Chain A
């Protein structure tokens, strides 16, 4: 599992049960990978082969095949499927 997170000033160190402005987790599953992105405030693009999310840290772009998306009310987006590439790009919010 690859974890990347950003400390938010004024908040406690522990992030259990709560996502910061930006949080990403990648886990293996049967169909490939599950990429969980916390703090996503917009889905810029979504297709079977690609998905682009806008977050406070910038854009997160995922490329692959057979991608499924799930969105949650706490601004978390889950992409599952055969994720081949995860990229980060700078963008203005």
Chain B
């Protein structure tokens, strides 16, 4: 397999063309002097590194023609000789570097079109516009100025990607300040989670989608920063977070259960016009678990009008405790049912994302554990008192 001569293409080579009658002698000359060449018709390609040696071998003995330097290096040397092309290359480089340091476009995301125009105008006033040098743009200052001047935006962030400025904004839906000094609150996290969605009705958001928060961390603050005017309010909004949790069910192999041993009537009385007539009564010292059930039955004529006569019965139900041994199948069935009820209770008003259940038998019990990831509302209002000056 022929190996491509990358060194010749990179460093350059010349093509030597000979008289066809001399090819045998020239091939013999190259063979005896240890020069690697391949003949293409009457021509050979000689790398720049061996050029002098070949010329010294051939001079005075054979006639030949030599081409200009070919390959990448040859092209570059010819190119550099053309001053106009070199100058154009330099000018192009300067223009390219200069143009990439300018803002070419400002794109606003997360805002409805009606508000986009207003925010664009505010950004222009603050100094973010097409044609401005990136080095002269202070992103933090522009963000603060726009938040101060535009009441409808509660959060703003400017990102640079290449030559485009991407502006992300969150709209404030309502803006009211509660005058009652006691009526201020922050929205705090009820548990550790990752923020999936945040909708601010009132207040200043301190977190954004994707942030990891701890239990008790303020999500929407009821205190506005001084850069945007200060003040307090009762923060309102909805914060949806995702988190993982688990629930466990443990069913023992043996259990103490109540079995019905005996049931008997211990008292019977009749009530007529509100007067009670006890006809039978029999209570004894009772052993074991027992329950007395009282039942009053009102009589009526053919299921219609009720008569002022009713019978009153007391029934004694005696239980005995026994040990119930469950089979593996019963354990699994009970655990499954209990886990289902537990999950229904835990996942009420939540959106389940992922669920994995594991179970194992032990000598004494069957343990089933379900691990789940879900999303739900994680914010709750926590009131605070603000100092009035």
Contact = CB atoms under 8 A, between A and B. Distances in A.
Interface of A: 40-48, 51, 68-73, 75, 77-78
B307 interface: no
A78 B2 CA distance: 11
**Among A43, A51, A68: residue with most chain B CB under 10 A:** A43
Contacts of A77: 27, 31
A70 B39 contact: yes
B36 A46 contact: no
B229 interface: no
A47 B35 CA distance: 19
Contact of A70 (B23, B28, B37): B37
B36 A42 contact: no
A75 B31 contact: yes
Contact of B23 (A41, A42, A47): A47
Contact of B30 (A44, A48, A71, A78): A71
Contacts of B34: 73
B162 interface: no
Interface in B19-59: 20, 23-24, 27-28, 30-32, 34-41
A43 B28 contact: yes
Given A46-B23, A47-B23, A69 B39 contact: yes
A70 B32 CA distance: 13
B27 A71 contact: yes
Contact of A41 (B32, B37, B41): B32
Contacts of B39: 68-70
A71 B269 CA distance: 130
Nearest to A48: B20
6 contacts: A43-B31, A47-B20, A68-B39, A68-B41, A70-B38, A70-B39
A68 B39 CA distance: 6
A71 B24 contact: no
Contacts of A73: 34-36
Contacts of A68: 38-41
Given A41-B32, A73-B34, 12 more contacts: A42-B31, A43-B24, A43-B31, A46-B27, A46-B28, A47-B20, A51-B24, A69-B23, A69-B27, A70-B37, A71-B30, A73-B36
